[in-house]
Structure 1
Amino acid sequence: MENDQTHHANADRRLGDPIVLGLSIGFIIVFIGLSVYDIDMVADGIASGFAWTAKHMGSYFQLFLLLTFFIAIALAISPAGSARVGNRRDPELSTFKWLSIIMCTLLAGGGVFFAAGEPVYHFVVTPPAFDTEAGTVDAIAPALAQSFMHWGFLAWAVLGSLTAVVLAHSHYDKGQPLQPRSLLYPVFGEAVMKGAFGSVVDSLCIIAVVAGTVGPIGFLATQVSFGLHELFSFPEGFTGQLMILVGLGAIYVTSAVTGIERGIQFLSRYNVFLALAIAAVIFIFGPTLFLTNAYTQSFGEYLSSFFSMSTMTSTDAPDWWMQWWTVFFFSWFIGYGPLMAIFVARISRGRTIREMILAVAVLAPIATTIWFTLLGGSGIYYQLTDVIDLTEALNNFQFDVATLTVAQALPGGWMMAVAILILTTIFVATTGDSMSYAISVVCTGHDEPNMFVRAFWGITMAIMAGILLYMGAGQISALQQFIVITAIPVSLVLLPTLWTGPTSAYAMAREQGVVS
């Protein structure tokens, strides 16, 4: 125990593992430097790596997500599911605060960007798993079901079910740091904990999350800038985007610095209340019957077509479709996996393994499908009844246009659009603060990382987003595609959890006397 405390003290004093810091910051400097030197070379290089990964690794990613989900559910209903995280009888956070923080992690990154536009896209361009005629009543359920596939059970399960169990056991029971390298301890033993190998593992996971978080931060600036221009004729352009970035950075850096108990859970709770209020207005004053029927049918379609959608490969679907939809999203979630699991393990002390897995892999996805139905289902309704026409915008992947167009068509008009812009901003801030916090935990190997380290990572991601926006939104998009490439090494870090998850859970259950 004393050694453990010394290790923590050293880690905190050191402000981070020098190799992890060097590689992570080195990546940011090299990416920006190469972009300045030859922007097209970087974009083209990433695009070809992205296409290769999608084509050759897509099936492996799909299979990995399927196995993660089903093994996690089996573990949740097993006797070991009663073991408690951190060997505590009572949870650190109240259930509402805890669920709010979990909901705000993934739904933020893309749920708000894609919730309005993605279902409408699948409505006007029939997904390959279905043969319905695009733009007709028959296309409604498949369109929503395809969106549920991308943001549902599989997406959430890889973010914090088995991985969080392994991390909770290694950290709370064995005194190992909350770092991705701890996931490989059962395979490589001490070699991964002390040497440069472990530092490289941690760095790869940080780079994936930086790529995945800077994207939404940058896209948010373009989305809010576009929204303010459309609604209030604010001048659109880099200056406006930069001001939005500064404001957003100030919010999430403050939140990350004040910690989980204060800033992070305050923002998450506030946002969940706002999301519930918006959801209620859409449901009560919007096309209520249409949304109710659409949800019932679409969820049924999601369950009945679950395997055909989740196992579709480039032989059944066009390469570009797999690359930009299923494989892109699945890779994105894998890239986030280790750091999101660190966050879930950190906030779930006192919860049972069953509660943790069901909250992350079942409750959160169901809430996500409801949110997608309210925003995207309304979008489909307005598209079907010719109130709006998003065909051209979505064929050009302009999701910021889609979100705002659907928001303005909703009951409340421009007020609803403003509310959704505020919600989007706070959602991205909750991703920014939780990831700044998780990156700092990984860098320092400490549960309560130094305030300056948290602030440093938050500010670094905002600055990177600003530089890339200055070069044009294409570079933000290139960075987003880069997370698909980083998903290959990160998936190898996560892979052992398919068997170490259940063994860790049973070890915890035996130590706590839950199973004999």
Structure 2
Amino acid sequence: MKKRFNEINIKIFIPSCLALILLTLLLLLQPEKSGTVILDLFDLCTEKFGWLYLTACLASFIFLFWLSFGRFGKMKLGDKNEKPRYSNLSWIAMLFTAGVGTSIVILGFLEPIYYVSSPPFQIEPLSETAYEYAHMYGQFHWGFSAWALYNPAIIAVAYMMYVKKDPSIRLSTACSVIMKKSADRWPGHCIDILVVFGVVGSISTSLGIGTPVLADVIRNVFEIPQQYDFMVKMIVLIIWILIFGASVYLGLDKGIQRLSNINIGMAFLFMLIVLLAGPTVDILKMEVNSIGLYADEFFRMSTYTQPFGSGEFTKSWTVFYWGWWIAFMPMMGMFVGKISRGRTIQNVMWGQLVWGTLGCCFSFMVFGGYSLYLQKSGKADLVDILNREGQSGAMIAILKTLPMAKFMMLFLCIVCFIYLATTIDSCAYVLAGVTTKKLGAEQEPARWNRLFWAVVFCLLSIALMLIGGIEHVKIMSVVTGLPLVLVLFLLMLSVKRTLEHDISEK
């Protein structure tokens, strides 16, 4: 045990743990005051810095085109003749399941219902135009813009690890060209601690969205009384711990890779059933329309700050999403960077962008299209159910319209369990790597370290659910994502300088 603990970077591990323990205790012991502080921080982030999140997203797009189509695009992340470590299918499965989690299923069904009742651009609620935007807008929030935010971190980590041969997956090391000697001192440690908070905040958001809904679906299937609601939620979290505990034990190749492949197969089978059971032609017509609307309104949505209005839509959705994706950025950068050995910069950047976007858009096409069909046809008033009974009630109402409703509910639960288990496992893997002193290209973080972070995710999610439910959980990702905007810009500059310096030396 002493030898294993000596592998840990104490300067990152101890401060991160103490800060997270303090935060969890405050949430549990002072729930009302903690909730107020979190709401105040959210208002500060969205009202004063909402424009910064949108700017960071646009900058990531510029970085994508500059790097992938410039003189560095064909550069290999590894030795000259090295082949990719993972097959294309396994690589796509791992990056997609790590980046989305259970939220893609739950919000895929429900997000368009929020949009159709409170659309952007002063569109009349529940109008024909509102339905068109409702089907498309989720694909914007989960599409190209979102996945572009990951690229700077992915390339920075992969280049340092496989080209520079640095035994670390920390973002402070990836910023070493800018920070120089400060990367191994307190400024670098601050970046890594911010990474820990960003990853914890982002995965807590995923857990906070998924756990209550799955618990209510399970209660409905097995007719468990409302009084056992908290107990069912704890059982859901325990099942997740068991799944990713097994995956942690097996490691990256046998654990995460296999779980991701299973996840992709089951998720697309579920989507196919919904597509075929629902109004297939109508859903396909919606998607063709959404593609044109997405292309037509892309720049307007990317810069929509509502400067002369309340800004409620932008704060509640676009800024929330960009904050959530930026909070996820360190995890995805380090994880996808780790699994991208042997691929070119261009292949990695466009591969994760295109395949990630296609997977998310297909999910929203099917799930969102089915929900909007139910609302428009009058088969289920999901807007009213969502307002009265919340997300769980709306999800159950949707699933009950499918053939073999109880079977589909259980199938959904299994898909969601595996979806989020792969995401949690990836996050725990990354944080274990961040808090490890040295981690070679073929090495993996200690198992106990990965399991420790996975348990931390669950404990913080429980605390957030106790103080105020889904709204406070959503807010956490925006708050933790704000300081990481600066890290995102540092990574872009660091990649640029590193590549230019290495090319000039050669």
Residue in 2 that maps onto 1:442: 434
Q: Of 175, 178, 185, which residue of structure 1 is paired with 2:165?
A: 175
In the aligned structure 1, how far is the partner of 2:234 from the partner of 2:461?
9
Q: 1:504 to 1:417 in 2, by over 3 A?
A: farther
- Structure 1 gaps, min length 5: 1-9
Change in 2 beyond 3 A, CA 1:79/1:411: farther
Q: Secondary structure at the match of 1:495?
A: helix
TM-score by length of 1: 0.91
Q: Report what 2:96 is aligned to.
A: 103
1:459-478 maps to which residues of 2 (within 5 A)? 459-469=455-465, 471-472=466-467, 474=468, 477-478=471-472
Residue-pair matches, total: 497
Q: Pick from 462, 478, 481 the counterpart of residue 484 of structure 1.
A: 478
Q: 1:149 aligns with which of 140, 145, 149?
A: 140
Separation (CA, whole Å) in 2 of partners of 1:476 and 1:258: 33
Q: In 1, are the aligned partners of 2:135 and 2:372 still within 8 Å (CA)?
A: no
Q: Secondary structure at the match of 2:307?
A: coil
CA contact (8 A) 1:53 1:484 kept: yes
Bigger mean CA offset, 182-191 vs 479-488: 479-488
Task: In structure 1, give the amino acid aligned to 2:400.
Answer: Q
Shift of 1:95: 0.8
Query: Match for residue 50 of structure 1?
Result: 42
- Of the structure 1 ranges 351-360 and 407-416, higher mean CA displacement relative to structure 2 is found in 407-416
Tell me how far apart the structure 2 counterparts of residues 348 and 35 of structure 1 sit (CA, whole Å): 38
The alpha-carbon deviation at position 395 of structure 1 amounts to 4.1
Residue range with higher mean Cα deviation, 175-184 or 53-62: 175-184
1:485 offset after TM fit, Å? 1.9
Q: CA deviation at 1:289?
A: 0.9
Amino acid at match of 2:446: N
**Aligned partner letter, 1:464:** L
Tell me, yes or no, if the aligned pair for 2:433 and 2:444 is still in contact at 8 Å. Answer: yes
> Is the 2:205–2:477 Cα contact (8 Å) retained in structure 1?
no
Structure 1 residues 467 and 134: CA distance shift in structure 2, 3 A: closer
Q: Which sections of structure 2, spanning at least 5 residues, go unmatched?
A: none
Cα–Cα, structure 1 residues 151 and 509, in superposed 2: closer, same or farther, change >3 Å? Answer: farther
Which residue of structure 1 lines up, in the alignment, with residue 335 of structure 2? 343
Q: CA deviation at 1:506?
A: 5.8
What CA distance in whole angstroms lies between the structure 2 residues aligned with 1:378 and 1:479? 27
- Identify which range, 115-124 or 501-510, moves more after superposition: 501-510
Q: 1:116 aligns with which of 109, 115, 119?
A: 109
Q: Note closer, same or farther for the CA distance 1:479–1:287 as it changes in structure 2 (3 Å cut).
A: closer
* Letter paired with 2:366: L
CA distance in 1, matches of 2:476, 2:494: 28
State whether structure 2 residue 275 is matched by structure 1 residue 283. Answer: yes
Residue aligning to 2:492: 498
The answer to whether structure 1 residue 24 and structure 2 residue 20 are counterparts is: no
Task: Give TM-score scaled by structure 2 length.
Answer: 0.92
Q: CA deviation at 1:392?
A: 2.8
Aligned counterparts of 1:459 and 1:44: Cα–Cα separation in 2: 26
Q: What whole-Å deviation, never above 9, does each CA across 1:205-240 have from its counterpart, x for those lacking one?
A: 101111221232243221111001222212341111
- Aligned-partner residue type, residue 273 of structure 2: V
Alignment match, 1:457: 453
SS of 1:345 mapped into structure 2: helix
1:212/1:335 contact within 8 Å kept: yes
Whole-angstrom distance in 1 between the partners of 2:32 and 2:225? 28
Matched, 1:381 2:373: yes
Seen in structure 2, the aligned counterparts of structure 1 residues 504 and 263 have a Cα distance that, compared at 3 Å, is same
Matched residue, 2:242: 250
Q: CA deviation at 1:337?
A: 0.8
- Of 414-423 and 433-442, deviating more is 414-423
Give the 5 Å matches for 1:289-304: 289-304=281-296
Name the SS for the 2:85 alignment partner. coil
* Paired residue secondary structure (1:239): helix
Matches within 5 A, 1:308-347: 308-347=300-339
Distance in 2 (CA, whole Å) between partners of 1:397 and 1:333 is 28
3-state DSSP of counterpart to 2:435: helix
Q: Deviations over 1:430-478 (max 9, x none)?
A: 1110000000000004241111111111122223334444x35x16643
| Residues 241 and 404 of structure 1: CA distance in aligned 2, closer, same or farther (over 3 Å) | same
CA deviation after TM superposition for structure 1 residue 479, in Å: 4.5
1:191 corresponds, among 163, 166, 182, to 182
In structure 2, give the amino acid aligned to 1:224. Answer: L
- Report the CA distance shift for 1:507/1:102 in structure 2 as closer, same or farther (over 3 A): farther
Specify whether residues 172 and 57 from structure 1 end up closer, same or farther in structure 2 by C-alpha distance, changes over 3 A only.
Answer: same
How far apart, in 1, do the equivalents of 2:264 and 2:504 lie?
A: 37
Supply the distance in 1 between the matched residues of 2:175 and 2:375 (Cα, whole angstroms). 49
Any idea what the Cα deviations from partners look like across 1:346-380, whole Å, max 9, x if unmatched?
01111111111112222211221111010011000
Aligned equivalent of 1:200, options 190, 196, 205: 190
How far 1:172 moved relative to its partner?
Answer: 2.0
CA gap 1:468/1:166 in 2 versus in 1, 3 angstroms: closer
Cα 1:258–1:363 change in 2 (3 A) is same
CA 1:258/1:313 → structure 2, altered by over 3 Å: closer, same or farther?
same
Task: Tell me which residue corresponds to 1:231.
Answer: 221
Contact 2:60 2:148 in 1 (8 A): yes
The secondary structure found in structure 2 opposite 1:139 is helix
CA distance in 1: counterparts of 2:3 and 2:300, whole angstroms = 47
1:300 and 1:510 map into 2 onto residues whose CA distance is 43
- Among 128, 144, 147, the alignment partner of 1:137 is 128
Between the aligned residues of both structures, percent identity stands at 24
Question: For 1:324 and 1:263, how far apart are their aligned partners in 2?
Answer: 36
